[in-house]
A and B are shown apart, each in its own frame.
Chain A
């Protein structure tokens, strides 16, 4: 029974992440820099990482990317999305596991956002065969401070309440 509940919870998280991604894609960009995103779905992945585990977060991230591609129909964005979310999750996991006494979730999510940007720019420069795209990275990293900050803040609040309800389910 516990396994089933866990599965349902994860499925809900994937669905929330997908919806957040779609809403984000519909929103006009609030930043000057083109390509900068709020990274709302990162909230879900960060929550999954904290509340569940690294493996579950990885599955959630990958599923979310694939479903998002199916929903929007832009196949090239799958590579950007996948590379970004996998690399950012790896970095977030490392920071969360080993440096959580130094950084709160805000720091973890800023690291994740920066890793996300780095992976996407790397993939973009490989796909387009143009290394000059990297010159765009600092602009993205600067915006990732703000987006990462708010993602971390949101996750902080969400995790507090989710932890409670999940403890209730399991015990």
Chain B
């Protein structure tokens, strides 16, 4: 292994990690994202983020329990819950597509989903 090899490995790692970071920030930041509220596996409500919703709270009362959700600027959190451990409240805000808040006792899942054109499978290669 020569000095050139080591430099090559070093440079490749740096460049690719850099590109990876840039890509994660730009390409996969969905322009449109929405909150999907699911109770017991069923989507009961979807909320598109918008400016006039910032600071609004939404109560979710179901047969399994009560949660209060607060919407922020592109982020969402649970502020109140009647579940015993309050893990969902402690989790704080979620903002990225794919992040979830789960409240198991109340069977509540709050997920941020991205609106993208391709929701179907893009392609299969074999």
Residues of A within 8 A of B13 (CB): 142, 145
Contact of A80 among B8, B19, B20, B125 (CB under 8 A): B125
Judged by a CB distance under 8 angstroms, whether B5 is at the interface is yes
Judged by a CB distance under 8 angstroms, whether B2 is at the interface is yes
Would A102 and B4 count as touching, CB distance under 8 A? Answer: yes
Chain B contact surface mostly? helix
Please report the number of residue pairs spanning A and B whose Cβ atoms sit closer than 8 angstroms. Answer: 62
> Which residue of the partner chain B has the closest CB to A114?
B12
Decide yes or no: A149 and B126 within 8 Å by CB, A132-B27, A138-B16 being known contacts: no
1-23 of chain B: CB within 8 A of chain A: 1-2, 4-5, 8-9, 12-13, 16-17, 19-20, 23
Would B27 and A135 count as touching, CB distance under 8 A? Answer: yes
Would B122 and A77 count as touching, CB distance under 8 A? Answer: no
In whole angstroms, how far apart are the Cα atoms of A139 and B19 in the complex? 10
CB proximity of B2 to chain A, nearest CB, Å:
5
Interface range on chain B (Cβ under 8 Å from partner):
20 to 34
Judged by a CB distance under 8 angstroms, whether A165 is at the interface is no
Residues of B within 8 A of A141 (CB): 12, 16
Judged by a CB distance under 8 angstroms, whether B123 is at the interface is yes
> Which residue of the partner chain A has the closest CB to B28?
A135
CB proximity of B4 to chain A, nearest CB, Å:
4
In whole angstroms, how far apart are the Cα atoms of A132 and B118 in the complex? 11
What are 21 A-B contacts with C-beta separation under 8 Å?
Answer: A76-B126, A102-B2, A103-B5, A104-B1, A104-B2, A104-B5, A107-B4, A107-B5, A110-B9, A110-B12, A127-B123, A127-B125, A128-B125, A130-B118, A139-B20, A141-B16, A142-B17, A145-B9, A145-B12, A145-B13, A152-B5
| 9 nearest A-B pairs in the assembled complex, by CB-CB distance | A102-B4, A128-B123, A107-B5, A138-B16, A138-B20, A138-B19, A103-B4, A141-B16, A135-B23
